[in-house]
Chains A and B, each alone.
Chain A
Amino acid sequence: MAHLTPTPVLEPGQDRTMILNMGPQHPSTHGVLRVLLEIDGETVVRIMPDIGFLHTGIEKTCEAKFYQQVVPLTDRIDYLCPMTNNLCYVLAVEKLLGLEIPAKAQWMRVLMNELTRINSHLVWLGTHALDIGAMTVFLYCFREREEILKLFEAISGQRMMTSYFRVGGVALEPPLDFFDRVRHFAGYFPSRVDEYENLLTGNPIWMMRTQGVARMTAEDAIALGASGPTLRGSGVDIDLRRDMPYSSYEKFQFKVPVRQEGDVFARYLCRVAELRESIGIVRQALDGMPEGPIKANAPGIVLPDREKMKTQMEALIYHFKIITEGFAVPAGEVYQAVESPRGEMGYYIVSDGTAKPYRVHMRAACLANLQTLPKMCEGGLIADVVAAIGSIDIVLGEIDR
């Protein structure tokens, strides 16, 4: 495998090839990805991604924080799907604690998680199409994304860094008209997906730019650790929501879109189909939303309501203790994985019995997906590199952490 033995600055071989440096400020690299390309005319001979420009040492920071203080950090790993990261982290801590979560909180988490998936896929679709040259889709996608961000703001007070899921439940009761607003959104959103598909799916230019481009077989995808739509676009039928359910996903009916072609177009179709499935899950969550509390009954772990904290002595004490001392988590280790919009997002948390995590490791779906880039691009055209990068939906915040 040629891509496994590259040098940091590629040596031009004889005088046939030249080195091209793409990024880290290139607009189609979605942030700060640097790609070194060795090209022979228009053909890519070797390709080597160079990452780390956005490294913030978040795993080290987590070790110095209380468990509940890590939640806002998880937003910032993958800033396009904050709630998925929140969910994965709190599920892992709850598993360490052995905490039972009320049904309504679990369903709220599913609801918000699917809205987050739609949000993330819309950004992907808009920017991916923009990279390849279809500008209009970007404006359409961001129109709907704006509505989702307004919903996020209504429920959590924040548009992007939501921190809405907390250990033991969710932060707040949704506002009174929230479910009606989501229902309204879910009502018209499928027709908007039709609009995107009208612009792209049958579009001859789009098909020429994506069909047969950046192919990857199922064996390669598994060997390189790809996950999510990148893996399912190559014909591997796995979705953690269905196959290893968490947060009561087993109570929802949805299809897992799988395509056999393994090219950019297949990954595009998988994600667009996921948009429709996600809105279906949102509808099911709205229809079947159980009644009850949104936080677990665990006074030493879950912050008391504001009202109680200001009127009851005991609640005030718990509030003070959680804020100042955190809560101790029994020693042990867990690996919790969820299906993020990009693939398998995993949190490996080691506890030594204190109130701060001994080790928090994030398994970033994008980091593994990025390794598929040489397999997809080598031997292809240089213009297709942009299509391939867009099709694996990278977020550099998650890759570099």
Chain B
Amino acid sequence: MPLAAAITDLEQLKEHPALACLLAWNAAAVSGAKFDRDEMTIYVDRANIREACALLRDDKCAFNYLSDITCVDWYPAEPRFEVVYHLLSIPNKERVRLKVRLESASPVVESLTPLWPGANYFEREVFDLFGIRFTGHPYLRRLLMPEDWEGHPLRKDYPVEGYR
């Protein structure tokens, strides 16, 4: 089966429940969307991510389960970091991916722990391995690496074999 081209036009995608919900709330918060390989990606501004997630959780589209939080480093491009949230709707059996783009100068985003306490470890892991700081996180410490480790290993400017 050949790959269909990704759809990035908001007009064509606005039927999707998650996007419709966000656009109805605050169209300015959505900076883009992409439908590729049957997966929906919505780009959300940094300032609005917690509210957007709260809305998606409590709205009728019911994305009530936080599957995962991770990050992608696009070094040396700017904005350098993309924090990626995967939400799952248990009632509707549907997924959506939210993304927040962050400049390398201020890799800071609001924590989702007030909405889902389960975001705790995911955000700590992203902090540990990428150096993204989550404001409002109750205990933002390294999770996997030792406490005194220098650098953030999953950044692209961190060598695979580590610093010598």
Contacts and interface: CB of A to CB of B under 8 A. Distances in A.
B31 to A, nearest CB: 17
B84 interface: yes
B154 A59 contact: yes
B144 A400 contact: yes
B118 A223 contact: yes
B102 to A, nearest CB: 15
Contacts of B36: 332-333
Contacts of B119: 225
B164 interface: no
Interface string A52-94: 1001010111011000000000000000000000000000000
B51 to A, nearest CB: 18
Interface string B45-78: 0000000000000000000111110101100000
A359 B93 contact: no
Nearest to A348: B70
A159 to B, nearest CB: 28
Contact of B86 (A8, A223, A243, A335): A335
Chain A: interface size category: 35 or more
B86 A98 contact: no
A4 B143 contact: no
Interface residues of B, number: 46
B116 interface: yes
Contact of B144 (A55, A95, A223): A55
B160 A63 contact: yes
Contacts of B142: 52
A298 to B, nearest CB: 12
B58 to A, nearest CB: 13
A309 to B, nearest CB: 27
Contact of A363 (B1, B73, B86, B147): B86
Contacts of B6: 332
Interface in A1-32: 1, 4-6, 8
B1 A100 contact: yes
B75 to A, nearest CB: 11
A282 to B, nearest CB: 25
Contact of B145 (A52, A98, A334, A344): A52
Given A222-B64, A225-B122, 13 more contacts: A4-B120, A60-B160, A96-B37, A98-B2, A98-B37, A223-B118, A224-B117, A225-B65, A225-B119, A333-B36, A334-B37, A348-B86, A361-B70
28 contacts: A5-B138, A8-B141, A8-B147, A52-B143, A52-B144, A60-B154, A60-B160, A64-B160, A95-B37, A98-B37, A222-B64, A222-B65, A223-B116, A224-B116, A224-B118, A225-B116, A225-B118, A236-B90, A238-B93, A332-B36, A334-B37, A335-B86, A348-B70, A359-B72, A361-B68, A363-B67, A363-B86, A368-B118
Interface of A: 1, 4-6, 8, 51-52, 55, 57, 59-61, 63-64, 95-96, 98, 100, 222-226, 236, 238, 243-244, 330, 332-335, 337, 344, 346, 348, 350, 358-359, 361, 363, 367-368, 370-371, 400-401
Give the top 8 A-B pairs by smallest Cβ distance, nearest first: A225-B118, A98-B3, A363-B68, A52-B144, A4-B138, A224-B118, A55-B144, A361-B70
